[in-house]
């Protein structure tokens, strides 16, 4: 049992990564094998027309960097095109509800897709295997099907509050999509039933045969572009041809004697580091895990980072982000003093609405010391499938601010902020904790608590991702049902508004692998369907 370990929310995908390790693949090969199967068996959480952030630590090559493949607003985007149809802002500040849902469902919600290009790039530079070697397993799940898991069925049937379009509409509104996702009687597939998508399998085989260039400038690209033109999409062939990934260095911080490496904006890593910096001014262990004092303290740090994110963090190609100040010791100390004084931070919102959490994650390590933490997504899925191609496009235009002049306002070629923050914690300059999560803006809050659970409270990976979580992305402290009511009452006595979910596991789906002198241990969030597997 020395090849490596994989942790992810889908058992089928975890197995694909593990088998890749057993067959001579490294951590990069395993991560991409896992990700490709994720696109087949969790097709609204991610896809080849999605976006994401890939954290690579290559011990043998002495390389450590990111492949950033955030979606970009199409070149036809206009900064003011939606300013007059704003209905509400989501409560966590991670999306807007517009009249007619034009940014959320349909062809105008699509940004430039980057996932398949990033997967291929990682393999060409660092893999032992090629994309064509790894696609057959995903193709098999497309052709032969998979048993719909509870989490998949739950997403398909979810109706969110406050103006969001019911998820079922993403599966039946577009005829080509409905032909794949609905049965003859118009109903969705239920948990346990076998779902197949042979069109996606054929597209994957075309990519295996002709290369990823077919998707961006070949015959597949031509089919995509024709469909976009027919339906007045913003995306064009030029957006496909001009899309490039970026390869930034990690953003570094420290906490409790550990070094923390995470992603640069427009990813959410700066939020994680800012919260850790603030919390380094407190004796969290003495407060005891999930006590009233602990939740109050961490919640205020969450609110401070949320306000700073809303005001300052976006695409650094378009926005001057004051990271030096936001991540400085002086700023962290001043924010900690604010918390200690009892001052409560207010998180302003245009209005209240639902948030989106349609993302997935994979962590891998191998016997050579290589580590990958990758989050990838469709955002709020667009619901669009081009006839015959099978895959669904991202819906990332939903998160741009339709009000001009703001950090995440619309602009051609711009990426919007995302909480994706695949992170690696180092101990004595060696990887100690590989961690990441899906979950919209909940991502940073889940990763923060996972890191604190390991570094402060000494939990192993499974304990860390399973412990009861809370989340603050507005003025409300959201808590899971396993946090005792007497703790909630204590928060309310301090004049906090709380909101208890019926779910025992919630607020992102954290996955992690811990590397210790005694060996590896992995954790898969119990709120998802996945697992951690060592081979």
> What's the confidence (pLDDT) of residue 157?
87
Predicted confidence (pLDDT) per residue in 195-206, tens digit? 999 999 999 999
Residue with structure tokens 């902020």?
417
* 363/55 Cα distance (integer angstroms): 9
CA 174 to chain centre: 25
Q: How many CB atoms lie within 10 A of CB 373?
A: 35
Q: Are 16 and 4 in contact (CB under 8 A)?
A: no
Q: Point out the least confidently predicted range of 164-178, 268-282, 300-314, 349-363.
A: 349-363
> What CATH code would you report for 251-353+420-527?
1.10.246.130
* 27/240 Cα distance (integer angstroms): 28
Please report, for the chain, the start and end positions of each structural domain, with discontinuous segments joined by +.
4-75+113-222+361-393, 251-353+420-527
**What DSSP state is assigned to residue 397?**
G
Query: Over 80: is that where the pLDDT of 364 sits?
Result: yes
Cα three-residue angle 284-445-473, rounded to 5 degrees: 110
Using 50, 70 and 90 to split pLDDT, how confident is the model at 108? very high
pTM higher than 0.85, yes or no? Answer: yes
Helical residues (DSSP H) of 341-441, grouped into ranges: none
Query: Over 90: is that where the pLDDT of 388 sits?
Result: yes
Predicted confidence (pLDDT) per residue in 268-307, tens digit? 999 999 999 999 999 999 999 999 999 999 999 999 999 9
516 - beta bridge partners? 519
> What's the confidence (pLDDT) of residue 323?
97
- SS3 (DSSP) at 204: helix
Q: Point out the least confidently predicted range of 1-5, 12-16, 138-142, 378-382.
A: 1-5
Using 50, 70 and 90 to split pLDDT, how confident is the model at 520? very high
> What's the confidence (pLDDT) of residue 351?
47
> What's the confidence (pLDDT) of residue 352?
45
Query: Over 50: is that where the pLDDT of 319 sits?
Result: yes
Average pLDDT score over the chain: 95
Tokens of 183: 């049965």
383-414: buried (b, 16+ CB within 10 Å) or exposed (e) per residue? bbbbeebbbbbbbbbbbbbbbeeebbbbbebb
> What's the confidence (pLDDT) of residue 14?
98
Q: Are 383 and 339 in contact (CB under 8 A)?
A: no
Q: Are 268 and 436 in contact (CB under 8 A)?
A: no
* 162/182 Cα distance (integer angstroms): 26
* 426/57 Cα distance (integer angstroms): 11
> Averaged over 477-502, what is the pLDDT?
98
Query: Over 70: is that where the pLDDT of 161 sits?
Result: no
Predicted confidence (pLDDT) per residue in 423-460, tens digit? 999 999 999 999 999 998 899 999 999 999 999 999 99
Sequence-distant (≥ 6) Cβ neighbours of residue 133 within 8 angstroms = none
* 368/435 Cα distance (integer angstroms): 18
Using 50, 70 and 90 to split pLDDT, how confident is the model at 158? confident
> Averaged over 257-264, what is the pLDDT?
98
């Amino acid at each position: 049992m020395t090849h490596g370990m994989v942790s992810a929310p889908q058992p089928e995908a975890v197995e694909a990564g593990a088998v890749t390790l057993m067959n001579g693949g490294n951590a990069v090969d395993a991560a991409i094998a896992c990700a490709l199967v994720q696109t087949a068996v969790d097709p609204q959480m991610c896809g080849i027309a999605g976006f994401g952030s890939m954290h690579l630590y290559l011990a043998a090559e002495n390389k450590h960097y990111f492949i950033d493949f955030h979606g970009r607003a199409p070149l036809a985007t206009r900064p003011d095109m939606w300013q007059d149809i704003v209905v509400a802002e989501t409560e966590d500040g991670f999306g807007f509800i517009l009249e007619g849902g034009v940014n959320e469902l349909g062809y105008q919600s699509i940004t430039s897709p980057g996932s398949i290009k990033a997967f291929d790039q990682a393999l060409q530079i660092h893999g032992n295997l090629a994309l064509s070697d790894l696609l057959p397993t995903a193709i098999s799940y497309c052709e032969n099907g998979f048993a719909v898991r509870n989490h998949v069925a739950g997403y398909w049937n979810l109706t969110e509050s406050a103006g969001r379009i019911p998820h079922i509409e993403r599966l039946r509104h577009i005829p080509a999509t409905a032909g794949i996702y609905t049965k003859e009687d118009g109903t969705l597939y239920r948990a346990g039933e076998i779902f197949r998508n042979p069109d996606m399998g054929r597209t994957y085989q075309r990519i295996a045969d002709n290369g990823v260039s077919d998707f961006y400038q070949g015959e597949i690209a031509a089919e995509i572009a024709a469909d976009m033109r027919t339906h007045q999409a913003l995306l064009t062939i030029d957006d496909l041809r001009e899309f490039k990934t970026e390869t930034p260095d990690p953003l570094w911080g420290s906490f409790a004697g550990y070094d923390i490496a995470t992603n640069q904006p427009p990813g959410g890593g700066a939020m994680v580091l800012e919260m850790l910096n603030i919390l380094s001014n407190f004796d969290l262990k003495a407060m005891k895990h999930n006590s009233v004092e602990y939740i109050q303290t961490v919640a205020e740090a969450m609110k401070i980072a949320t306000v700073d994110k809303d005001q300052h963090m976006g695409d650094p190609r378009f926005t001057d982000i004051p990271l030096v100040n936001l991540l400085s010791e002086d700023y962290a100390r001043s924010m900690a003093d604010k918390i200690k004084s009892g001052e409560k931070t207010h998180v302003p919102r245009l209005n209240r609405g639902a948030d989106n959490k349609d993302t997935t994650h994979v962590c891998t390590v191998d016997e050579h010391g290589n580590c990958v933490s990758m989050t990838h997504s469709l955002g709020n899925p667009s619901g669009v499938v081009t006839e015959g191609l099978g895959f669904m496009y991202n819906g990332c235009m939903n998160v741009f601010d339709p009000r001009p002049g703001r950090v995440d306002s619309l602009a051609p070629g711009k990426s919007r902020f995302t909480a994706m923050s695949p992170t690696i914690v180092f101990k004595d300059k060696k990887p100690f904790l590989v961690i990441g999560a899906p979950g919209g803006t909940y991502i940073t809050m889940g990763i923060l608590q996972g890191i604190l659970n390991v570094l402060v409270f000494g939990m192993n990976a499974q304990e860390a991702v399973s412990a009861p979580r809370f989340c603050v992305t507005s003025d409300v402290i959201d808590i899971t049902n396993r946090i005792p009511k007497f703790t909630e009452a204590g928060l309310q006595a301090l004049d906090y508004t709380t909101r208890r979910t019926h779910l025992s596991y919630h607020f992102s789906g954290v996955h992690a692998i811990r590397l210790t002198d005694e060996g590896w241990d992995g954790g898969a969030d119990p709120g998802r369907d996945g697992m951690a597997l060592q081979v």
